[in-house]
Amino acid sequence: AVSGGGPPLKIHETRGNLSPSSSPVNAASTTGPGQATVAQYASIVAKQRAGIGKNLDDMMSSNCDWTMPGSVDTRPGYKTCAIQVFTINLKAHSLQMVLQGAQNPEGPASIGAPPDEIKSLVTDTITAARTLESESDKANPCTAPGASADCVTILFDFARAMTAMQAQFAAWSPYGG
């Protein structure tokens, strides 16, 4: 702690804005009480997109064929596409949890409610991530040799969920997310 005879300094969200304060600073109140900024949510999505987006791009490439149960990798001997089904599941779950945690006023990662301008975009992104997680759960067994013919529909639904997640990320582009 720095001693100086006055109240402790609180660091505001804008780093160059240091001022003495005796009350806690609520950086999330920049757009209203309990409300975060568009930039804060766009930043969260951009960070999550960096991880999950690479997986989506790889999985939607010609290296993966989601119409072939039991043999989704188009390159003989490779298991990359099958492994990424599991990876994308974890990342989709993480995206949901981070966005939900940002809105939870009781949570340690809370930044406040999303502004009205992006409220439906945040909700739609959580829904797309939840759907991707659910569809990847179903698709995982369909990537193994001997998968049933029912897996054609399951893999199609999984591919559709990946496309929907990519569309959600694209919807964030105007906001920098």
Q: What is the DSSP string of 48-115?
A: HHHHHHHHHHHHTSTTB-TTSTT--BSSTT--HHHHHHHHHHHHHHHHHHHHHHHH-TTSTT---BPP
Q: Is 145 left (phi over 0), alpha (psi -120 to 50) or beta?
A: beta
For the whole model, what pTM was predicted?
0.77
Q: For 11-44, how does the pLDDT look when each residue is reduced to its tens digit (9 = 90+)?
A: 233 233 333 333 332 333 345 567 899 999 999 9
- CB of 85 closer than 8 Å to CB of 143: yes
Confidence (pLDDT) at 17: 33
